[in-house]
Amino acid sequence: AGSSRRSDIKREHSTQLLGDVLAKPWLPLPLGLKPPSLESVMVELQKQGVANVPPTCS
Of 36, 37, 45, 40, residue with least CA distance to 53: 45
One-letter identity of residue 19: G
Give domain status of residue 35, yes or no. yes
**Is residue 27 in some structural domain?**
yes
pLDDT one-digit tens code per residue, 3-57: 778 888 888 888 887 788 788 878 887 777 788 888 888 888 889 888 787 776 6
Alpha carbon distance 24, 10 (integer Å): 21
Q: What is the pLDDT of residue 2?
A: 65
With respect to residue 41, please indicate whether it lies within any of the assigned structural domains: yes
Residue 1 has pLDDT above 60, yes or no: no
Distances (CA, A) of 17 to 6, 23, 56: 16, 10, 28
Question: 18: helix, coil or strand?
Answer: helix
Please name the residue ranges forming H helices in 1-58: 2-23, 38-47
Task: Report the pLDDT value the prediction gives residue 31, as an integer from 0 to 100.
Answer: 74
pTM above 0.85, yes or no: no
Total domains in the fold of the chain: 1
> Residue 17 domain-assigned?
yes
Q: Is the residue at 25 inside a domain?
A: yes
What is the extent of the structural domain holding 23?
2-47
